[in-house]
Amino acid sequence: MTGAVETPLPSTADGSRSRDLLAQVVVRCMECGRRDDGTASRTSCANCGGLLDVVVPLDRQVTPDDLGKDLPETARHSGVWRYWPLLPHLPGDAIVSRWEGNTALYRDDRLARYAGLTDGSLQLKHEGQNPTGSFKDRGMTVGVSHAKAIGARIVACASTGNTSASLASYAAAAGMASLVLVPATKIATGKLAQTVAYGATVVQIDGDFDRALALLRELTAAYDVYLVNSVNPFRLEGQKTIIFEMLEQRGWEAPDWITLPGGNLGNTAAFGKAIAELHQVGLIDRMPRLAVIQAEGAAPFAAYHASGFEEYEPVEADTVATAIKIGDPASTPRARRSIEVTNGWVTTVSDAEILDAKAAIDRAGIGCEPASAASLAGLRRLTREGVVRPDESAVALLTGNILKDPDAVTAYHFDDIDGEPRPGANRPIRVAAELSALERVLSDALHG
């Protein structure tokens, strides 16, 4: 673990106002309690190397009427910044927003039955509807705005693809340079395409995500480069708003469960913090339980949970769900806190269960990328195991857009397994360019 890198602040008149605001932001180490202000880029405690939290002053009640008001002009359309009373107050002229958030909360009873719940009990929060197609944009607006506020010249991340796509877009919006490290193989086509198109400097390394992040942390410790991976506490502040917005859409009525895929565990960390804060300011009177779902081949947090949080062991990760192909999640201690605070649960699903759940979500006309489907696959498993009761309510988080990983879709529908198409495979039908051939297809479509 490494210490803070001090970034010089801009010295303009505006800069000194920025400095005043940033000096009031509090960042605290979750291990030793050391406090710093928000004037520098910090991703671990200078004393003990522990993970950091932004401390938002929550000394008064917040009501629904307090939201979306008195926002800086730059933040007016954002589904993140409307929760201003529950976020760190960055200088308005530094805010970089691309109208993120404002995503749909769908009800779907076919998928409720798939999950083993009664009709009306399941909703899906679709974070694939963010500007770059994943929830990463919610954290990125806060991370990149903080980077801009402190005068950073270059922002960087290690990524399985979605963080890099989001960073590249927000850095472009801010007029800043961006540097991303991705694994040389197994990055989904859509994600790599976005990152390149938005103009980031893309470095493919011969190693996995965990190696890329470790390498980048060495670089950012030694050079004046702003790190926006989810070890950055400002990013997690933005991701809290998934919970805020979902609960606002439900009239501040908490579901019994929230299920989400667990990779680097940034969302898990952010969600526990969000729920605790909403409870503290009186916006909810009952806490939902978090259920974190990991892929079987990338499940160090599930094993840690199963040991009663006694034994933690990183793994070499392997799964088709590349966004959660992470063997040593950086936010593990914060995620543990989230599970403890919300009386939550952690489980695993196989790649086959993930792909099956994804096909069900896709067929419902909703669609998502593979990692997202872990939340539905995991819910199905938890109702079967009796952890979740059929009459309980749940919100499943869909983290990314179906178009992120088109190869996963075509492989599922077009490739044989054991010489046979998968049950439910939907293949285009090639016919002669004649009306009679088309009539046969129409008849099959209506009756078959």
Ligand X SMILES: *Cc1c(COP(=O)(O)O)cnc(C)c1O
| Interface ranges with ligand X (CB under 6 A) | 134, 136, 162, 230, 261-268, 323-324, 369, 371-372, 399-400
- 3-state secondary structure at position 6: coil
Distance of closest approach, residue 3 Cβ to Zn ion, in angstroms: 11
Among 12, 17, 23, 48, binds Zn ion (CB under 5 A): 48
Q: Which of 28, 34, 389, 413 binds Zn ion (CB under 5 A)?
A: 34
Task: Tell me which of Zn ion, ligand X, none is bound by residue 371, counting a contact when its beta carbon lies within the kind-specific cut-off of 5 to 8 angstroms.
Answer: ligand X
Task: Find residue 177's DSSP bridge partners.
Answer: 154
Least CB distance to Zn ion at residue 213 (A):
20
d(CA 372, CA 366): 12
Any contact of residue 29 with Zn ion (CB under 5 A)?
A: yes
Q: Between 126 and 146, whose beta carbon lies closer to ligand X?
A: 126
Nearest CB to ligand X, comparing residues 141 and 162: 162
Residue nearer to Zn ion on the CB measure, 50 or 128: 50
Q: What is residue 208's three-state secondary structure?
A: coil
Region of 7-15, 50-58, 230-238, 415-423 interacting with Zn ion (CB under 5 A): 50-58
- Three-state DSSP class for 207? coil
Give least dist CB 354 to ligand X, A. 11
Residues whose CB falls within 8 Å of the CB of residue 17, separated by 6 or more in sequence, listed in order: 91
Residue 1 interaction partner, one of ligand X, Zn ion, none, beta carbon < 5-8 Å per kind: none
Q: How far apart are CA 192 and CA 212, in angstroms?
A: 15
Q: Which is nearer to ligand X, 94 or 299 (CB)?
A: 299
Is position 31 an interface residue for Zn ion (rule: CB under 5 A)?
Answer: yes
Nearer to Zn ion, 3 or 314 (CB): 3
Quick check: 52 binds Zn ion (CB under 5 A)?
A: no
Q: What's the min distance (Å) between Cβ of 53 and Zn ion?
A: 11
Query: Smallest gap, in angstroms, from Cβ of residue 236 to ligand X?
Result: 9
Residue 246, SS3 per DSSP? helix
Distance in angstroms (rounded) separating the CA atoms of residues 295 and 350: 6
45 binds Zn ion (CB under 5 A): yes
What is the greatest pairwise CA distance in the chain?
A: 77
DSSP SS3 for 148 = helix
Name the one range near Zn ion by CB under 5 A: 27-35, 88-96, 216-224, 359-367.
27-35
Of 6-14, 48-56, 161-169, 244-252, which segment contacts Zn ion by CB under 5 A?
Answer: 48-56
Nearer to ligand X, 97 or 164 (CB): 164
The single residue among 3, 11, 24, 32 that binds Zn ion, judged by CB under 5 A, is 32
48 binds, among ligand X, Zn ion, none (CB under 5 to 8 A by kind): Zn ion
Q: Which residue is nearest to ligand X (CB)?
A: 400
Closer by beta carbon to ligand X, 18 or else 129: 129
Return the structure tokens found at 156: 């960087």
Spatial distance between the Cα atoms of 248 and 176, rounded to a whole number of angstroms: 33
| Rounded Cα gap, residues 308 and 292, in angstroms | 15
CA–CA distances in Å: residue 71 to residues 93, 155, 248, 353: 11, 25, 18, 43
Closest by alpha carbon to 379, among 388, 391, 370? 388
Instruction: Give the pairing type, strands 105-107 and 154-158.
Output: unpaired
Q: How open is the CA angle 173-178-272, to the nearest 5 degrees?
A: 80
Find the binding residues for Zn ion in span 93-152 (CB under 5 A). none
CA distance 278 to 286: 10
Stretch that binds Zn ion, among 31-39, 215-223, 278-286, 385-393 (CB under 5 A): 31-39
55 binds Zn ion (CB under 5 A): no
Q: Which two tokens stand for residue 353?
A: 């269960």
Residue 225 vs 265, nearer CB to ligand X? 265
Identify which of residues 150 and 167 has a Cβ nearer to ligand X in the complex.
167
Q: Is 50 in the site for Zn ion (CB under 5 A)?
A: yes
392 binds Zn ion, rule: CB under 5 A: no
What the block records as the tokens of 99 is 């109208």
Are 126 and 373 spatial neighbours (Cβ–Cβ below 8 Å)?
no
Question: Is the CB of residue 114 less than 8 Å from the CB of residue 380?
Answer: yes
Q: Which does 19 bind (CB under 5 to 8 A by kind): ligand X, Zn ion, none?
A: none
State the DSSP code for 88. -
| Shortest distance (Å) from residue 24 CB to ligand X | 28
Q: How far is CA 63 from CA 79, 250, 251, 307, 379, in A?
A: 17, 15, 12, 40, 32
* Interacting residue ranges for Zn ion, rule: CB under 5 A: 29, 31-32, 34, 45, 47-48, 50
